[in-house]
A and B are shown apart, each in its own frame.
Chain A
Amino acid sequence: GQQLNQSPQSMFIQEGEDVSMNCTSSSIFNTWLWYKQEPGEGPVLLIALYKAGELTSNGRLTAQFGITRKDSFLNISASIPSDVGIYFCAGLNAGGTSYGKLTFGQGTILTVHP
């Protein structure tokens, strides 16, 4: 089935550093979503992207929809301890016939040391 390759798998950084993670796909996507999941909770939607080349910010978070429509990245600037969690990318395959059938990346585990 369709898979997203998300990297890196994990990151250990110091507070104040910038973070970058990305997702790539072998096929074209119509939508890219970025979620954050904290321990014991469900994923929370951070940013949604709908157009190739789109660059969207949400506070210290910035995400882009790749021009090829096969990739997306998420940047976090000036990380703080509460940024800790698992970040997931998710996408909707442009060739799919089933609305809503998002494909999720494997997740990036972020640890921020004070």
Chain B
Amino acid sequence: DAGVIQSPRHEVTEMGQEVTLRCKPISGHDYLFWYRQTMMRGLELLIYFNNNVPIDDSGMPEDRFSAKMPNASFSTLKIQPSEPRDSAVYFCASSLVVGLRSNEQFFGPGTRLTVL
């Protein structure tokens, strides 16, 4: 089975540009998570969805960040306008609520974003 798929794997953009990161969760999973990883702050949860509905977006750093999940197989994380401090690796993860194993999250390969 395919794991979590993210695109692009690498993105280099200039400050002020709009950036859109994409994620396809594992088929059948009902939770989707967006994380950001930096050396300074480690792994931070930005937002997560259950059955396509945003549940907790308290980790979204500011209004420049937005996320959508129009259907069960696709989600986007958008940054507009982008700033150099947004440079990081962004991960998407998904999980399936099945009894005790509900908290096992499976991560995609990440998108390395560089904002110049």
**Does B104 contact A48, Cβ atoms closer than 8 Å?**
yes
Q: Which of B12-20, B41-49, B60-68, B70-78 is the contact stretch? A: B41-49
Q: Which of A17-25, A59-67, A69-77, A98-106 is the contact stretch? A: A98-106
A48 CA / B101 CA spacing, docked (Å)? 8
**Does B103 contact A33, Cβ atoms closer than 8 Å?**
yes
B56 contacts across to A, CB distance below 8 A:
98, 101
Q: A42-B91, A42-B110, A50-B100 are in contact. Are A100 and B42 (CB under 8 A)?
A: no
Q: A42-B108, A101-B48 are in contact. Are A88 and B43 (CB under 8 A)?
A: yes
Give the A interface residue count (CB, 8 A).
22
Give the B interface residue count (CB, 8 A).
25
**Does B109 contact A101, Cβ atoms closer than 8 Å?**
no
Q: A100-B95, A101-B48 are in contact. Are A31 and B42 (CB under 8 A)?
A: no
A31 CA / B106 CA spacing, docked (Å)? 15
Output the least CB separation between B18 and chain A (Å): 24
> Could you tell me which residues of chain B, from 84 to 98, have a CB within 8 Å of some CB in chain A?
91, 93, 95, 97
A88 CA / B103 CA spacing, docked (Å)? 15
B116 contacts across to A, CB distance below 8 A:
none
B91 contacts across to A, CB distance below 8 A:
42-43
> Could you tell me which residues of chain A, from 78 to 103, have a CB within 8 Å of some CB in chain B?
88, 92, 98-102
**Does A107 contact B42, Cβ atoms closer than 8 Å?**
yes
Q: Which 10 residue pairs are nearest across A and B when measured between Cβ atoms?
A: A42-B107, A104-B43, A31-B103, A50-B100, A43-B107, A92-B103, A42-B110, A42-B109, A42-B91, A98-B56
